[in-house]
Chains A and B, each alone.
Chain A
Amino acid sequence: MKKLLGATCAVALMAFGAMAKDAPKTPDEVAQPGGTLPGNPKIALVQIADGFLDPINVANAGDGSGRIFVVERIGRIKIVNKDGSVNEEPFLDLTSINPLGNDVQTGFVEQGLYSVAFHPNFAENGHFYVHYASLPFNGDGMIVRFTVDPESPDVVDADRANGTAKVLMRIEQPWYNHNGGQIEFGPDGYLYIGSGDGGWEGDPYEAGQDLSTPLAKILRIDVDVPDDADRPYAIPDDNPFANASSERLMVLFGITEEQFAQIKTRSLPEIWSYGVRNPYEFAFDQKTGDMFIAEVGQNHWEEIIFEPAGTAGRNYGWPRMEAAFCHPMTGDPAEDTDCSVVGTLPAAMYPHSAPYPGAPEDNTGGCSVQGFGVANYGGMDGVYLMGDWCSGRVFGLGHDGEKWQLQEMMQTGLQFTAGGYDEDGNVIAVNANNFYLADEGPDSNPPGQLWRVVPADEVPEGAVVAETVQ
């Protein structure tokens, strides 16, 4: 089944040939704010629910229940029912599974329970997966499977959690920032994991270009292995480095350079793509399977990566590149003639207040891109929506048949942290009132909200709508 899907994708791609939408080939083709999406769609954010403690991700279970699962940084997952009511008792509470205290490290605002993903067959097997910074493991990223008791579909209590926990992976984190976080099943049924570069700044490990570390990568694993298997997951055969490090006899003659280049004796087979700084959020277009990565940038630019469905092994450039520019930026990139592009360019980028060191300040940009999801409704066709953590701006990225268009759709007073989909395929988003500089702790910051993206002319009567700059 999985293989077949992959093959279909490849055929479809070939049929499209050069017309297929893909990453820009040159830096000047990378979209910047000021574009217009096809049809110039207008959207509004309608509040679904309020009162979450630092909500930093959201997902649905795909089981027809209509429930939305809001991830609270402190280590809880709250259920929002179809009618918008929020269950008092959490679905999962990692603050209570360990008698010695919270199992989640939340000491730094980028740490916490990052995300939840439900198995494609969740309705039958009850498996769901979380990624969180572990307190006992000093902030390492734990990817753990839990299994719902069918008798208690809305609450996985501490006993059930401990009784069913299966640790898939522990990603060592040298520093407390850039932990990535998003985990999500792709249309191929495999689990994709966004893994940041380990933190500090400037990628001190050079992790982005180092295939021997899981840091600064998108990883892809097959979770469907028997529970008594030697390893908690399998490597999909078509992972780009699935066999690159396997032991073999050395053959020096009669081998092409291309074949030599496929030998990577230290590469990790889990790697799907590399050269990302902090892929805290990514999403699949539910219609096409294409992937968008909201790649959080460093001092000057935020970038949005487009990856056509099933395209493995791309290098997105970090830390050689920051968006479409060579990293580190030392001045106005227009005057830097020595820079040549490493890897695949992002589809779009938007600046911080200073687009390069010494640039005049301008507050039309942002500071940290937080992806929501891909909208295929309301006049939007494959439009990736994202929000900025600082400026409250919402951007839409779409392709007009010729090139990418990045359009600012609204500016709100919300500090967006993430997004996802409801079961009807609507894009949803969460905002939290936390920030590096004003963090009072994951249980003390003013509560955050859950929103649905709706076409502006379809806002239900009486709905609470996010206020926007007029």
Chain B
Amino acid sequence: MHRLLLLAALLPAALAAAAPAAADGIEFKATLNDKPLQFKYRTNQEITPAVESFHKTGENPYAGDAAAIADGQKIYKKMCQACHLKDGTGRIGPNLTDEEWARARTGTEVGRFEIIYGGGAGAMQAFGRRMDQDDILKVMAFIDTFRAD
């Protein structure tokens, strides 16, 4: 039963990959070449309401949510900080504290989700292999705070 539920929850994501232009959903693209983003990692993860909503609207429900930001900060420390630095100013990865973005779509939440989930060039790995999409939204909410202050 539990399994079935999870599978059902996964369906929207699977559909999004198969039919990226679905009317009610966001068309996610791979950062490097603009091809449809394949949702192929960690296929047994729980698709939370936040993720489901993000897939539909492209807006991060965790934006400004203090609890999610705190979780996101923990993830950032563990997985991102080494390259983007504690204050987000960047070393191996680009500066995340300003409004200048290195890629065409990373100025948007959808674009940032795409590069974090599916990877960019070289060291910007596909973190969708290492964490669930829900955690990606939390870490996105955290990196927003770099630009807020």
Binding site for B on A (CB under 8 A): 353, 361, 363, 366-367, 388-393, 411-415, 433, 435-438, 440, 446, 467-470
Contacts and interface: CB of A to CB of B under 8 A. Distances in A.
11 contacts: A353-B92, A361-B90, A391-B121, A392-B121, A393-B122, A413-B124, A413-B125, A433-B125, A446-B126, A446-B129, A467-B30
Given A367-B92, A438-B130, 5 more contacts: A390-B123, A413-B122, A438-B79, A470-B32, A470-B33
Interface in B85-117: 90-92, 94, 102
Given A413-B120, A435-B123, A435-B125, A446 B92 contact: no
B122 A390 contact: yes
A175 B64 CA distance: 45
Given A363-B94, A433-B129, A415 B122 contact: yes
B27 to A, nearest CB: 17
Nearest to B41: A446
Given A437-B82, A469-B121, A413 B92 contact: no
B122 A391 contact: yes
B121 A413 contact: yes
Contacts, number: 71
A446 B125 CA distance: 10
Contact of B122 (A389, A437, A438, A467): A389
Contacts of A440: 130
B contact face: mostly helix, strand, loop, or mixed: loop
A446 to B, nearest CB: 4
How many B residues are at the interface, by size bracket?
A: 20 to 34
Greatest chain B CB density within 10 A among A388, A392, A412, A414 is at: A392
Contacts of A363: 94, 102
B83 interface: yes
Greatest chain B CB density within 10 A among A361, A437, A470 is at: A437
Contact of B32 (A393, A446, A467): A467
A366 B92 CA distance: 9
A468 B32 contact: yes
B85 to A, nearest CB: 11
A415 B123 CA distance: 6
Given A467-B30, A467-B32, A469-B32, A414 B122 contact: yes
Greatest chain A CB density within 10 A among B34, B94, B125 is at: B125
Nearest to A444: B130
A456 to B, nearest CB: 15
Contacts of B94: 363
B72 interface: no
Contacts of A413: 31-32, 119-122, 124-126
A321 B122 CA distance: 27
Contact of A437 (B33, B83, B90, B102): B83
A381 to B, nearest CB: 28
A467 B33 CA distance: 7
A467 B115 CA distance: 14
A390 B124 CA distance: 8
Contacts of B91: 353
Contacts of A393: 121-122
A353 B123 CA distance: 13
A389 B123 contact: yes
Contact of A388 (B83, B90, B122): B122
B91 to A, nearest CB: 8
A438 B82 contact: yes
A30 B125 CA distance: 32
Nearest to A416: B122
B84 to A, nearest CB: 10
